[in-house]
Amino acid sequence: MNQPLPFQARTGCPACSGEAGSLGYAISNVPANSVRIHRSESAASSIPTGDIDLAGCLSCGFIWNTAFDPDLVEYSSDYEATQAYSETYRRFLRAQADELVEAYGLRNKRIVEIGCGHGEFLAEICEAGENFGIGFDPAFSADRAPSIKRGSFEVRAEPFDANTKLPEADFICCRNTLEHLADVGEFVSGLRAVIGESGEPLVFFQVPAWERIAAEGAFWDIYYEHCSYFTAASLTALFERNGFDVLSCERSYGEQYLSLLARPARDSGRPPLACGSGFGDLIEAGHRLQQEVKEWTTLLCDHSTGSGPTILWGGGSKAVALLTTCDIADGVHGVVDINPYKQDAYLPGSGVRVMAPEALKSVKPERVVVMNPIYVKEIRARLAQLDVTTQVIGLGVE
């Protein structure tokens, strides 16, 4: 963690080209890829790293990492980001698919998903409405795709970019992907251009909600791959500025996500409302993040309460961000993950080992820190099943 910087003016918001200011939140040498699998500690420790230096737009409220270099990030078949081993997450996917099918009559329709992972959500929405889906994702593995009884889908293991021809679509969705892109203005205007004037597909985007990150000081949600952060206002403004009518933009999944629904505007689109952050908001968010870094560093290094080990539960980007931002790998005995592809791997940067939940029977942890509080209930049940008694702490608000 670097020392807080004084306020610095920035220019060129990637969403609206507006003027921006620094949050004074900067970290050096974080892993460029948080969820790639490494099978040895040395491989996990010798990886490409980059810097984070957040700025916020005074015109539209968009937040981004000004030090981001897209060439350092690689999305390939060893990119392991799925949350779908969790029953809680699968229920959320199913409920979201059912709601969209019901609310917008998505039956026997053509669905396109940009950044579909292994097709977990695409499968749900195609099955729920007997739809036909086409997904795009360079990290897709055919043997990991779910099979469905009704509807059908196919996935192209390639990125969706300026060279991609958009298949005919009634519904275009893009979940947990836009925050990985640096040129968000260019992406949304490009999408509007390829939709053209011919069709009026509904467009559904989901991204992490900056409002929650700022309110909780959730620094574990700030990592290199996520170079772009949105508030409901800045996400809405981005789509309105680029020729969409925004129908709704709401929080979901325990306030963690923003879900935006839009359709192409018939006219040139409404001019977006001014919704920028003030200097004070940016500085306050930066301070809140730094304060949480200090508190968690102290807490995880404090072994005075007992001699037992501390375990993190959830070996994804949040754990990587927590361990590298606080630089407290020595304070953590290991990380548990229910995804079998992650078990026995080593986390990028810190080199902390990932283990299966069953390993806790012999580890006997003093405390388990749950990386996403939405899984606390599911994890408590699993610990009880394993007959492991320990303190369970959720990051952020439970």
The only residue of 10, 13, 322, 325 in contact with Zn ion, by rule CB under 5 A = 13
Say if residues 151 and 129 touch (Cβ distance below 8 Å): yes
The only residue of 10, 25, 56, 62 in contact with Zn ion, by rule CB under 5 A = 62
Instruction: Give the range of 18-26, 91-99, 114-122, 246-254 binding Zn ion by CB under 5 A.
Output: 18-26
Reading phi first (left if > 0) and then psi (alpha if -120 to 50, else beta), residue 373 is in: alpha
Closer CB to Zn ion, residue 62 or residue 121?
62
| 172 is a contact residue toward Zn ion (CB under 5 A) | no
Instruction: Give the range of 12-20, 48-56, 199-207, 315-323 binding Zn ion by CB under 5 A.
Output: 12-20
Picking from 321, 345, 318, the residue whose alpha carbon sits closest to that of residue 334 is 345
Kindly state the smallest distance separating residue 272's Cβ from Zn ion, in Å: 10
- Terminal Cα-to-Cα distance of the chain (whole angstroms): 26
Instruction: Give the range of 11-19, 146-154, 238-246, 292-300 binding Zn ion by CB under 5 A.
Output: 11-19
Q: Please give the backbone phi and psi of residue 199, each rounded to the nearest 5 degrees, phi first.
A: -115, 170
The only residue of 22, 33, 34, 59 in contact with Zn ion, by rule CB under 5 A = 59
Picking from 25, 34, 21, the residue whose alpha carbon sits closest to that of residue 62 is 21
Instruction: Give the range of 53-61, 72-80, 105-113, 124-132 binding Zn ion by CB under 5 A.
Output: 53-61
For residue 178, give the amino acid letter.
L
Instruction: Give the range of 15-23, 124-132, 242-250, 294-302 binding Zn ion by CB under 5 A.
Output: 15-23
Buried b (16+ CB within 10 A) or exposed e, 66-103: bbbeeeebebeebbbbbbbebebbeebbbebbeebbee
Closer CB to Zn ion, residue 18 or residue 190?
18
Kindly state the smallest distance separating residue 13's Cβ from Zn ion, in Å: 3
The only residue of 26, 32, 37, 60 in contact with Zn ion, by rule CB under 5 A = 60
Kindly state the smallest distance separating residue 239's Cβ from Zn ion, in Å: 13
Say if residues 33 and 225 touch (Cβ distance below 8 Å): yes
Q: Whole-angstrom Cα distance, residue 282 to residue 55?
A: 8
The only residue of 10, 15, 35, 207 in contact with Zn ion, by rule CB under 5 A = 15
| 57 is a contact residue toward Zn ion (CB under 5 A) | yes
Q: Whole-angstrom Cα distance, residue 219 to residue 290?
A: 8
Footprint of Zn ion (CB under 5 A): 13, 15-16, 18, 57, 59-60, 62
